[in-house]
Amino acid sequence: MAIIDLNKIEYVTLYTGSNGSNGCTCKCPCCSQRKKERQYQGTLEQAISMFESLPNMKQLYVFGNPDITVDTKLCHDIIKEAVRRNIHVCFSTSGIGGICTLKKMLNDIPCEMVDYISFSFDGITKKDMSLFKGIDYPMEKALAGLDWAINNGYTVKVQPTLWFSNYTKVKDIIEYFVNKGVKWFTFHIGSLESGISLDSHKHLTKEQIKEVHYQIECAVQKYRDIKVRCPIIYRECGENDPSKWYCMHPERIKELLIIFEESGIKATHTPMASIYFDNFSFYLDNIPDIKPLAYKNFCPISKELSGKDDTCCRYISKFWNY
């Protein structure tokens, strides 16, 4: 039995409610939050209670409910409270609202306390972005927001999610954003957990992920000052090290995903596994013994994640120039 020690938690990723994609400003066809049925908007009181339960938090990464463009004022108030407690902050955004959203978010927040702003651009044209976000995407406005953040001294990263329809464009995406001044890219491989299979949004095969890594290699050779992270979720990665896998070592956890729910402040140390196993989630005010999963060479939920039972941990990534 292992118990998560809240005093050891340094990093928190936060959903400020449980609206799911129904309440989002975008309608991404394969949103990982799609299955959420209940609608609930969290509160500042819950945030304060979270901060008090986690006295050694160093960094808060805010998603919003489910994006900061939905409940921008609350997200701002929460990061302001974090900064007051000397906790560094960062957040991701779909780019909706452009400069206006960023100014609301960052009002009164010192630049040096913002570790980064992550923009989820999955493509470089309005047409591609409209396909991925499921709306008539305001590309110009979103790009103006990115420019504004760079020009105002914030560290930005671009975080594209890769699917069948954009995995061959990785080099173009990097090139386009490098020319705008971006030096940091963190790729996602499409949300298996959305449970939806569209032709345009098929999950990548092992060969396709290798092709993605090859394009990143070429870009890193060309632009030597960029850093890139990309998941490895296939077998021959050479980094098959179960000692890193959270599900097997809950007592080592330094990071939690937290969701404000009507019933309380819910947390998990293994966001993927918690989708399939209820006993991987808990309330901050009532932490049960967490039974580590038995030691295995491959991810214990890889069948659910990829349809195969021999993939590596979803959280293991390959890094370039980190």
Point out which span in 44-52, 169-177, 198-206, 295-303 binds ligand SF4 (CB under 6 A). 295-303
d(CA 95, CA 90): 15
Instruction: For residues 312 and 304, give the distance between their C-alpha atoms in angstroms, rounded to a whole number.
Output: 12
According to CB under 6 A, which residues from 79 to 98 bind ligand SF4? 94
- From 186, 300, 306, 317, residue interacting with ligand SF4 (rule: CB under 6 A): 300
- Say which amino acid occupies 126: K
CA 210, 212, 214: angle at the middle one, nearest 5? 70
Residue among 12, 314, 317, 318 that touches ligand SF4 (CB under 6 A): 314
Burial 2-31, CB ≥16 within 10 A → b, else e: eebebeebebbbbbbbbbbbebbbbebbbb
The single residue among 15, 119, 121, 245 that binds ligand SF4, judged by CB under 6 A, is 245
Residue span binding ligand SF4 (CB under 6 A) among the ranges 41-49, 102-110, 195-203, 266-274: 266-274
Q: Which of 28, 90, 230, 267 binds ligand SF4 (CB under 6 A)?
A: 28
Does the footprint of ligand SF4 cover residue 67 (CB under 6 A)?
yes
Compute φ and ψ for 9, nearest 5 degrees.
-75, 125
The rounded distance, in Å, linking the Cα atoms of 170 and 162 is 8
Among 33, 165, 215, 317, binds ligand SF4 (CB under 6 A): 33
Distance of CA 107 to the CA centre of its chain: 23
320 in Cβ contact with 228 (< 8 Å): yes
Specify the residue, 85 or 254, whose C-beta has the smaller distance to ligand SF4.
254
Task: Candidates 247, 253, 257, 284: give the one binding ligand SF4 (CB under 6 A).
Answer: 247
Query: What CA dihedral angle connects 288, 292, 298 and 303, to 10 degrees?
Result: -40
Identify the residue among 9, 12, 14, 31 touching ligand SF4 (CB under 6 A). Answer: 31
Among 4, 9, 14, 21, binds ligand SF4 (CB under 6 A): 21
Q: Which residues contact 100 (CB under 8 A, 6 or more apart)?
A: none
- Give the range of 121-129, 151-159, 171-179, 265-273 binding ligand SF4 by CB under 6 A: 265-273
Binding interface with ligand SF4 (CB under 6 A): 21, 24, 26-28, 31, 33, 66-67, 94, 245-247, 270, 272-273, 299-301, 313-315
